[in-house]
Amino acid sequence: MKGRAPISLVAFALLTGVIPFLALTGCGRRGPPVPPRPQVPAAVVALRAEPSDSGIVVTWNRPTRNEDGSPLEDLREFRLYRAVGAASPREAGARPVFSLLATIRAEQPDNAAVLDGQYAFRDDGGGGGLLPGVRYTYRMQGVNGKGQAGAPSPEVSVDFALAPPPPVALAASGGDGMVTLTWQAPQASPLTGTPPVRGYNVYRSLRPGVYPSQPINAGPVVETQFRDAGVQNGTSYYYMVRSVGIERPPWRESDNSSEVSATPEDLTPPSPPQGLVAIPSQGLVALSWNANPEPDLLGYLVYRREPPAVSAGRLTESPVLGTTFTDRTARSGATYMYSVTAVDRSPRRNESAMSAELSVTVP
């Protein structure tokens, strides 16, 4: 048609979408397509294994993320693997051979306990118990709803041994700011494979029958006594002790010993008052002394002795709160020996030794 310019190649390409196609495909080197990386659960963390009775308890935390950091919303189960070998050190380069031990559902498992996102599975060798002197190594994988397993967790191992017998004859006595515990070593167990007692772990609680997972001692106590100085006077504490059959964590502990309780109490009296001064006058004697420095001081007791008597009688029925007292029962012409003691607020009402006696003759 006359008067219309021919459509250029570029315009034709823009109209037909060729250039966008070229821009998308690019002009670089072509390669095979890369499939998208599947979203699999992140590796299970905090996997632990500890001996318990005739088995091993394996615990772990539920993962909340996939390997790529996205939220894990379709966790289906856990696969627990176990390798069995000698408890002696492995040869260099040797790797444990794992086999599937158990599959644990992520929701309402029937073979594990769950509390606040932490799982616990007991390996008891199928009900027959585990073998002493054998190393059991565990690892775990999380599996999503598509059956895709995440990376294996770090491995944990236990050199299994039977539990030693518990200590006997546990006793406790409260002191001033401390509790002293004593017990007797257990008799050797007749069961083959039972380790000798390497020491003891001491557990403390404010409630009977409920104890924390960690003992109060930093390492196993090798003696059959323990002094607990981390207590407060006037508070009752409960204790139990376990024998330890392995020299390093995780401790192979015995059952609990019997439970005992003790209440530490203040047994330390105040220091004797100082600076006693007496001012006699007609029919009375005014006494004063320096204040004691003890923070738990309750007050003072005033004593009087009339020679030739050798023992003093108390003039105050209850402690005097201040540092002065007036004796209004003094007789004119009599000579008296005065002294003062300090009393604290403890339930025992610890009383100090007497101050230096002061002789006074009443005019």
Distance of CA 197 to the CA centre of its chain: 23
220 within 8 A of 243, measured Cβ to Cβ: no
pLDDT at 7: 43
How far is the C-alpha of 257 from the C-alpha of 165, rounded, in Å? 9
Distance of CA 182 to the CA centre of its chain: 22
Domains 168-262 and 277-361 share a fold: yes
158 within 8 A of 125, measured Cβ to Cβ: no
pLDDT at 10: 37
Give the CATH superfamily of 45-160.
Answer: Immunoglobulins (2.60.40.10)
Distance of CA 22 to the CA centre of its chain: 67
pLDDT at 126: 85
Measure the CA dihedral 315/318/321/325, to 10°: -10
Q: Report domain extents, the chain.
A: 45-160, 168-262, 277-361
* Sequential pLDDT tens for the chain (363 residues): 444 444 443 333 333 443 343 344 444 556 666 666 678 999 998 999 988 877 899 999 999 999 999 999 999 999 999 999 876 665 556 788 999 999 999 999 999 999 988 999 999 988 878 888 899 999 999 999 999 999 999 999 998 888 889 999 999 999 999 999 999 999 876 666 677 899 999 999 999 999 998 999 999 999 999 999 999 999 999 999 999 987 677 678 899 999 999 999 999 999 999 999 999 999 899 999 999 999 999 999 999 999 999 999 999 999 999 999 999 999 999 999 999 999 999 989 999 999 999 999 999
pLDDT at 91: 58
pLDDT at 75: 96
pLDDT at 295: 94
Bridge partner list, 359: 337
How far is the C-alpha of 207 from the C-alpha of 290, rounded, in Å? 43
121 within 8 A of 102, measured Cβ to Cβ: yes
pLDDT at 136: 95
Please tell me the number of Cα atoms within 13 Å of 149 on its side-chain side. Answer: 11
Q: In the CATH hierarchy, which fold is given to the domain comprising 168-262? A: Immunoglobulin-like (2.60.40)
Closest CA to 43 of 19, 21, 68: 68
Bridge partner list, 284: 281
pLDDT at 287: 98
**Residue 141's CB: how many other CB atoms inside 10 A?**
20
Chain segment 153-183, per-residue pLDDT in tens: 999 999 888 888 999 999 999 999 999 999 9
285 within 8 A of 362, measured Cβ to Cβ: yes
pLDDT at 291: 97
3-class secondary-structure state, position 20: helix
**Which CATH number is 277-361's, of 2.60.40.10, 2.40.50.140, 2.60.40.1180, 3.40.50.2300?**
2.60.40.10
**Residue 178's CB: how many other CB atoms inside 10 A?**
15
pLDDT at 93: 61
Closest CA to 120 of 63, 62, 168: 62
**Whether pTM exceeds 0.85:** no
Q: Report which DSSP code applies to 7.
A: P
